Amino acid sequence: MKFRRQLRGIARALFHLALVAGPIWGLARASQTAERALYAVLLAGGLALLVWAAFVYWPGFDPLFRIPWRGPRRGRRMAITFDDGPNGDQTMTVLRLLEQHQAKATFFMIGQNVERQPELARQVAAAGHAVGSHTYSHRKLNQVSLAEAAEEIDRGHAALAAAGVADARLFRAPHGLKTFAVMRHLVKRGLRLIAWTAGVYDTDCPHASVIARRARRWIRPGTILLLHDGKMDHDRRPMTEALESVLQLAQRRRIQLVTVPQLLGWS
Ligand SMILES: [Zn+2]
């Protein structure tokens, strides 16, 4: 799964790069004005498509630099984020582990799950962790109309508000997929889109040791690490087992685990 997804990403990047490289190559060889003008138009189109594709598929990419994907590398702080919850016992285990290691984290919750477990959502917030929304039902926001995307975003936040969770105005897009229109809606609503430095593909449910090994190199200042405590029917035990060693390693490396707003100096 991991490699297939990476391969698809590389193929997409190569395709869009070719749309830019092709016209550049043509431009260099063209001798006539009309020919050069044609390649220049193609190059402009290719560049626009490249920026658009990067914006949609690259979670932390924004030509206007509005999307944090890591914190300051100076200092000794990093942030762990948990997506797709809250998720019953799995989230409880995460809370217990975080407390044992005096760590704070950030939870991007799915509205539907919040509606099913409002008490748990409140408990996460009450423990001092930051809580943000991860849409209402985890739809890919680049594959639905703007109206549907806006509803996903607004209902997700409404679910948190209804559960009585203090709104941190944080939002994470499912799979990091976004469009320019979605971004405009988020800005209008005063929501901050948060990306991540590294994911460890824990949703593929590899063995705990695999998750821990993938995470190891990212336990360093400034990282925003992506993990998952949801969804409802996923067995997250490999992740929670790996979390234990991630927290221990952070302690050994003297890295303090803080919320995303703390890491970014927002609170
Ligand atoms: Zn997700």
* Tens-place pLDDT, residues 47-88: 999 999 999 999 999 999 999 999 999 999 999 999 999 999
Whether the predicted pLDDT of 29 surpasses 60: yes
pLDDT-derived band at 251, boundaries 50, 70, 90: very high
62 part of the active site: no
Answer for the pair 17, 37: CB distance below 8 angstroms, yes or no.
no
Whether the predicted pLDDT of 2 surpasses 90: no
- Measure the CA–CA gap between 116 and 149, rounded to whole angstroms: 21
- Measure the CA–CA gap between 86 and 114, rounded to whole angstroms: 6
Average pLDDT over residues 203-209: 84
Phi/psi region, residue 95 (left: phi>0; alpha: psi -120 to 50; beta: rest), is: alpha
CATH code for the structural domain at 77-263: 3.20.20.370
Rounded to the nearest whole angstrom, what is the distance from the C-alpha of residue 142 to the centroid of ligand 1?
Answer: 14
Rounded to the nearest whole angstrom, what is the distance from the C-alpha of residue 72 to the centroid of ligand 1?
Answer: 25
Rounded to the nearest whole angstrom, what is the distance from the C-alpha of residue 254 to the centroid of ligand 1?
Answer: 29
pLDDT at 117: 96
The pLDDT tens digits of the residues spanning 134-162 come to: 999 999 999 999 999 999 999 999 999 99
Look up residue 97 and give its two tokens.
Answer: 């582990």
The dihedral sign for the CA sequence 136, 106, 181, 198: negative
Rounded to the nearest whole angstrom, what is the distance from the C-alpha of residue 143 to the centroid of ligand 1?
Answer: 15
Rounded to the nearest whole angstrom, what is the distance from the C-alpha of residue 229 to the centroid of ligand 1?
Answer: 10
At 122, phi and psi to the nearest 5? -65, -40
| Among 83, 84, 202, 229, the one annotated catalytic | 83
Percent of the chain past pLDDT 70, that is, above it, reads 98
Task: Tell me the domain boundaries of the chain.
Answer: 2-57, 77-263
The pLDDT tens digits of the residues spanning 225-247 come to: 999 998 656 678 889 999 999 99
The pLDDT tens digits of the residues spanning 164-178 come to: 998 779 999 999 999
pLDDT at 207: 87
pTM above 0.85, yes or no: yes
228 part of the active site: yes
